Every structure is written in structure tokens, then in C-alpha cells.
Structure 1
């Protein structure tokens, strides 16, 4: 069996009286590529944000590499910020918005985390930045500021920035949703290239055709629960649940 890298046990998240995640149980093996689908409000982005603790779960456990995150107490689970900061260096996240520092070049944006968070010498961080910018096809843009880059190029810089931390896992939260249609392909190509390296990746997306080629497993979320899961062939071509079929039917123009 493949080695387990992440396990979620009864994960719940509420905002006030509104429960967004209603009990997620999920085991992720090292090297798996999971596409997460669902309508708006189904809990997809919240799930990713709870995995890297940008949002603290209301209940349930997150287990990373066999170690439960947080300390169990009588009143629940206590999370220490220093421990969560260390965890976030192991789980890279790419957002809808690029969030690059406008006063830094592409290379400086990518090198900043290794310097300020990991404590790498600037020369070593610069070499790491150059290597990862090259991997996403932007070696020639290293000295450019974000304002001189297209949206697709900025998102690829953001991917290189996450890679520069050398995480165990990558989370993508609809990484193409803020892009003009003609720029989507270059970002998806970069993600697909990374997927061939055997990385553990979880991707929230509405690009169903891409999900079919990218994923080893597909999850369909509805009302904060995993409503259906299986291989891309099972979920995208032969869904069992009516809600899954209706969702895919609304996106019937995608190509396998």
C-alpha cells in the first residue's frame, strides 16, 4: 500500500451557526493527486484552508505523516501558532489571487520565504528561486516586477514561490479562476508538469477536463460532505449520485 501522508478524521468547520464542513473523513497517500469538485458553498476552499490551518477546524483531527496536529485537551484540541507555522512550511498553498509583493521582482518573491521563514542564506535562496522559476517556464522573467507580468505569469511565480519552500504537499485553490481564459492553459500546463513528478497534490477546480487528466482520484463535495469519490473515469464519466450527474451536466462542454 502507498504511504499515508495525510488523514482527516471527522473534520468540521463552522462560521457562527453555519456549518461549512460537516464531517470530512479522508486519507491521502503520498503521491496522490486529488481533484476536488463541487458547487459554490460546498466547502471546497474551506477544506484546503483547514488542511494548512489558515482556518482552525471546529472539530475533528488532521494527521500529517502519522502525527496528529494539535494537543488534545479536555475542552478540545489546542493549536500552538509556532507549530502551525512549521506545518505551513510543509504544505504549500496556491490561491486564486497571486498575492505577490509588488515591490519585489519575481525572483525576490520566490526567494523571500526560504530566507525569512526557513533561514536560508540569500545566495542559496536565490539559487533555489532561479531553479523553481525555470521549472515553471519563467527563467527569463526573474528580474521582472509583478506589474510587468501577465496574470498567468504571476500565478506561475506564485507556484514557484510555493515550490521554493520544498513542501511535502501542494494545495491549489482554484488557481485559474482569476485569469482571463486565454491565460488559463499556461498555468494548467505548469501544474500538469508538476503532477508528473510524483508530488502529493490537492486541487480545487472547475476545469473538469483538466481534472480528468490531472487526478488519480476525484472528490465531489456537497453540503460540506464528500458526496461521491472515485477515479476520474468513475466520477466524471460514470457518476453514481444524482447531484454529481447534475453538476457535471452543467459543465458539459469540457473535453476528456
Structure 2
């Protein structure tokens, strides 16, 4: 089998006494589209934030392209901890793009400037090359006519599509979406989901935390139900969403009975 693009082994995350992730093992192959579902507080967003090191894992290992991130250091008491160097994390974040619930655009920058920012400040590309890449991705999400607009002049759906273009411009190996439609008015959800579906159809590797169960059914190659910081059930969309084996999964889906396949 091909080496996973992204992998976790025994991943834990604690915030003081709060144990959010409890030994998550995840393997993501090239071209996989994994939908992560679960109730509020189950650890979905924390998992994504650990995958691109916006949150540092408490224990366990994250591997990208077969290489463990960080270096193990032995403590005086004999235990081991993993230390992360900022230059390494910067390289990892270029390979693992992330789109947030909130759009996180710079309000004082135009659409084009927002999409160029990472290319200029992180990759340090010449302005002309950065502009070309940013314009291509903005056109990709249907915003070629909004280059000079400021975020305040855009709808929420348009702002989220700018955020998607900004992440794509960095040419990541994996895209993470953290409930990308949760901050949108209902009438704007569809335009963002269509953009994500188009990326899926291109064969991009992605993990999507979502409450759009019907969308997950049609787009994901694998669905994971996360509960109490562990993978409670996983499988194909048909296995998890149509024929769940576990009672807790069935109860969760019943509470979301408004979705349709």
C-alpha cells in the first residue's frame, strides 16, 4: 500500500484537566476525502488544529509523507516528550492548508492581497508570481471579478471562498475544513459547498469537519464519527450514515434527521 500522506498515532490533547483527544489513530491516503462528524465538544476542531499544529499535541505522533513531525526528547524522569521547532512547523503548515469557521481575512487588504499574503510572507515569492498564483485560485472559486474588493464588501459565502483560494494558493498536500459553512446564512451555504465539492472532484486530499450530513454522504470517501475524543465508528458513507453499527452513532444521526441523501 502507498504511504499515507498524513497519519496520527496515539494522538492526545489535554487542556489542563480536560482530556479532549484520547489516543486518535488516523491514516489519510492521497485523494481521500474524510468527513468527521460528531457532537459539540467531541474534539473535531481540536483534531484538525493538532494536525496543522495550531494546537500542539500533548502526546502521540503526527506523520506527514511518512516522516514524524518533531523530535523526541527524554526528560529527567525518564518520560519522553516531543518538541517542535518553528521552522519545521512553518513547512508543515504550507503542506497542510486550513479553512476555518470564521474567514480570518485581513479587513484592510483586498481580495487579491489576502490571497497573496501567504505566498509573499511565508513562501517569499516575487510579487508577480504570487499574484499569478493567487489570481488563478480566485478564478477557481469564481471570484475573478472581485480582486480589488475588500472583505467588508463581500457576502459571507464570498469571504469563505476567498479563504479557500488563499489556502489553495499555497499548493497544500492536504486541505482541512473546520465547519466551513457554520458561520454562513442558510442561503449562502450552497455556494461554499459547491466549491468544496469541485475540489473533491479534482481528487484533492481533504478532511472536512461538518454538520452537513447529506453533503458528507455524497462527497466523502470515508466518514468518521468522533465521540469523547475517540473514533467511535468509521467506514464508508453508506456504512456509517445509512447503516451505523453503534447505538451512539444511530442516536447522533437521529438527532440530525433533517438531512437527506
TM-score (norm 1): 0.99
Partner of residue 203, structure 2: 198
Whole-angstrom distance in 2 between the partners of 1:128 and 1:15: 38
Residues 3, 66 of structure 2: 8 Å contact kept: no
Shift of 1:103: 1.0
Partner of residue 220, structure 2: 215
Partner of residue 161, structure 2: 156
Question: Of residues 149, 161, 170 in structure 2, which corresponds to 1:144?
Answer: 149
Partner of residue 57, structure 1: 57
SS in structure 2 at match of 1:60: strand
Whole-angstrom distance in 1 between the partners of 2:209 and 2:64: 20
Residues 97, 175 of structure 2: 8 Å contact kept: yes
Shift of 1:245: 0.3
TM-superposition CA deviations, 1:195-252 (whole Å, max 9, x none): 0111110000000000001100000000000000000010000000011000100111
Partner of residue 35, structure 2: 35
Partner of residue 113, structure 2: 108
Whole-angstrom distance in 2 between the partners of 1:244 and 1:226: 11
Whole-angstrom distance in 1 between the partners of 2:100 and 2:71: 28
Whole-angstrom distance in 2 between the partners of 1:87 and 1:99: 20
TM-superposition CA deviations, 1:74-101 (whole Å, max 9, x none): 1311111111111101100000000111
Shift of 1:3: 3.9
Shift of 1:2: 4.3
For structure 1, the 5+ residue unaligned runs are none
Whole-angstrom distance in 2 between the partners of 1:158 and 1:129: 11
* Greater CA drift, 82-91 or 170-179: 82-91
CA pair 254-2 structure 1, distance change in 2 beyond 3 A: farther
Q: How many residues end up aligned between the 2 structures?
A: 256
* Deviation >3 Å, runs of 4+: none
Question: Of residues 93, 97, 110 in structure 2, which corresponds to 1:92?
Answer: 97
For structure 2, the 5+ residue unaligned runs are 76-80
